[in-house]
Structure 1
Amino acid sequence: MVNMAEALVRLQTLAGSPTVSTLAAAFREAGHELALVGGPVRDAMLDRGTNDLDFTTDARPDEILRIVTPVSTAQWDIGREFGTIGARIAGETVEITTYRADEYDGATRKPVVAFGDSLEGDLVRRDFTVNAMALRLPEVTLVDPSGGVEDLIGGVLRTPIDPDVSFGDDPLRMLRAARFAGQLGFSVHDDARGAMRDRAATLDIVSAERIQGELTKLLSTDAPRAGIRLLVDTGLADRFLPEIPALRLEIDEHHHHKDVYEHSLTVLDQAIGYEKSRHPGEAPDVTLRLAALLHDIGKPATKRTEAGGVTFYHHDIVGAKLAKKRLGALRYDSDTIRDVARLVELHLRFFGYTEAAWSDSAVRRYVRDAGPLLERLHMLTRADVTTRNKRKADRLGFAYDDLEERIATLREQEEMDSVRPDLDGNRIQEVLGVPPGRVVGEAYRFLLEVRLDEGPLPPEEAERRLLAWWADRSE
């Protein structure tokens, strides 16, 4: 609940900060209006941390640059064509944009940039009422033409104008609704939700890069579950991430399998919990969160009904391929695509550990296969336990505790993070008397398997094994 008296005090404090007060004085002296706008105002009222300072003004870009240059240590005009000038003032980065009155053609999300002449006119063209509030400076007057304060108090996301028109102007705003639902914990007004359903297909005009950016921001929030539900319920997810709504598999009357969609959302929640407990205060691990959300997307394609119930054989392998394809279509970078697909592929590997004690060799292979993703695999695997059966959950938890302890012990004994054969390529060539080539690679892999199976060997024993392998191979 927003306490308005306290919120106004926070706004006064924000307005009195060195950066804001310096900028406000400079624009007043130049005879121009200035207002702090959007997210900083909203977050100050909610008592959330304010990271970005966005301003709007009646001054045109050239005039903005002239005003900020004397009071800033750096300036950039990369957004000049859209009316935006950036600057560094009192150690903070700010962006100042000329009032806008854009028009959209309905065929693309790129507006025909038009500068406006009033703060109120600029505000009503914004995405949601809670982002359409401004703090006029330097007098510190709250400007709220669309009822943003009431919606902030009510925890509601509503568009300043008809949502059908707003989302028609810029379909990306529908994804922003999902992001803010996760970030702020707000509900979406029924009118806006209905318009999202009606206009879901218009998302197709938005570039994959823009969609990826909003998905990443949603997954970076503390509680993305509500936003993902909104995307699925309105049909938006079908346009760019259809594998998630496809998880809503029909459950048979005997409940032979759990609700995969709900399970996946719970795994995402739990993965975020493990991430925060292990790395408090660090940036969100989007790779882990993508893997948690997508880890079971291979199940719809592999679902089989058999006498004993429902099976999903090889859904880990199928899911890894689907994840790679989908993330590629969303223009994620190659490292993220590779790592998420690998985590999806490996997410079932641990469950064999609960069925029979692994040998040291099996533990070494688990570590080798996970490579630098081992800790993420730890968190994903633990998060994948969503059973309500406490005995089963405890058994899995104890088993994974044991596995992590064994990994730590072997790592200390054998430097497992850099497991290599006991002989390098040069020594293999010397022992076998062969030049560089395919044979050396095969010998290297043979010795690596021996190393994984048995641990470190003395050099003379490794050479004896190599010569025996070579003799058998030559027969």
Structure 2
Amino acid sequence: MERKIFNRLLATLCHFNLQTQLRVAGDWVRDKLLGKDCYDIDIALDNIMGTEFVDKVREYLLSIGEEAQGVCLIESNPDESKYLETTRMHLFDMWIDFVNLMSEEYTENSRIPSKQSFGTPEEDAYMRDLTINSCLVVHDNLFYNINTGSVEDFTKRGISDLKSGRIVTPLPPKATFLDDPLRVLRAIRFGGRFEFTLDEDLKVGAACGNVKDALAAKISRQRIETEVDLMISGNQPVKEMTHICDLTLFWIVFSLPPEFEPTISDGCER
């Protein structure tokens, strides 16, 4: 099924003589390398918007007597941590998301990018949260290049960290976490999900005062709740909660209403 999808996309490039690189990003690449099933296909485009490319795919399919089963546009919504416009197409009974490789800049007081532009695969990979996700959305670091049929690891660490079972950031941890402090909780969650070890430098960066302050100031309670929800419903909730405590993040993640803090929080760290 995946091969049929990729073949139609490559045929679209040939039909319109498009010089576009198609890269599957994120979870799909990581899970394939781990020998796991994944039905979440995000395709990153390097020089064309998703809506424009999907229109080309639809036109090509009609020319060969086929039809896309559904198309929709998911607009960017920074309040819900959705920073990129996504075009979704239903093809061979699977939903495929098309996004663009991006370069982002952040302001000091917000995890919402202040500036976005078309980026290179290297720029996109180093923006991501963890090396194991950097084989390349929305937002990860490892890519599978459909054009060449090869895995691309632009951080040069993603595959080795998958093999050794380590959770590592592509850039120095403090820089990665200050760009988007929610990545601290994502690192903990992925460590538990795959039973991987948190890198020592990552733990130091996650526990530093600036990162903790940024996590408290820049991340909404709803986003923190979502990450904790995923931890609790995962396969290693105790391990993940222990990491939160050991990294001195307890009172940021599990903050209390102000009227209760003085009586309960003193001397309690877990």
Asked if these proteins are the same fold (TM beyond 0.5), I'd say: yes
In 2, the alpha carbon distance for the partners of 1:55 and 1:163 equals 27
The one of 203, 208, 217 aligned to 2:215 = 203
2:44 corresponds to which of 56, 63, 66? 56
Write the mapping of 1:43-442 to structure 2, written as runs, cut at 5 A: 43-58=31-46, 59-70=48-59, 71=61, 72-79=68-75, 82-133=84-135, 134-146=143-155, 147-198=157-208, 199-204=211-216, 205-241=218-254
The whole-number CA distance in structure 1 between the counterparts of 2:115 and 2:94 is 27
* Unaligned ranges ≥5, structure 1: 1-13, 244-299, 302-475
Verify the 8 A CA contact 1:56 1:99 in the aligned structure 2.
Answer: yes
Give the aligned length.
231
Letter in structure 2 aligned against 1:67: K
Q: Identity over the aligned pairs, expressed in percent? A: 24
Q: Give 1:158 deviation, angstroms.
A: 0.7
Q: Which residue of 1 aligns with 2:80?
A: none
CA distance in 1, matches of 2:196, 2:13: 35
Q: Name the residue aligned to 2:260.
A: none
Q: Distance in 2 between matches of 1:79 and 1:28?
A: 28
Q: Does 1:25 pair with 2:16?
A: no
Counterpart residue identity of residue 196, structure 2:
F
Q: Tell me which protein shows more helix as a share of its residues.
A: 1
| Segments of 4+ moved more than 6 angstroms | none
Structure of higher RCO (CA pairs closer than 8 Å, 6+ residues apart): 2
Q: Is the 8 A contact 1:85 1:95 kept in 2?
A: yes
Aligned to 2:140: none
Q: Which has the larger radius of gyration?
A: 1
What secondary structure does 1:88 align onto?
A: strand
TM-score normalized by the length of structure 1: 0.46
Structure 1 CA distance for aligned equivalents of residues 245 and 9 of structure 2: 43
Q: Which has the higher strand share?
A: 2
- Cα 1:22–1:227 change in 2 (3 A) is farther
Gaps of 5+ in 2: 62-67, 77-82, 136-142, 257-262, 265-270
- Helix, strand or coil: the match of 1:160? coil
Q: Which amino acid aligns with 2:148?
A: E
* Separation in 2, partners of 1:179, 1:137: 29
Q: Which TM-score applies when normalising by structure 2? A: 0.79
CA change 1:220–1:49 in 2 (3 A) is farther
1:140 Cα offset (Å): 0.8
Give me the whole-angstrom Cα distance separating, in 1, the residues matched to 2:241 and 2:22.
37
Contact 2:181–2:215 (CA<8 Å) still a contact in 1? yes
Pair 25,115 (structure 1): closer, same or farther in 2 beyond 3 Å: farther
Conserved? CA contact 2:121–2:154, under 8 Å: no
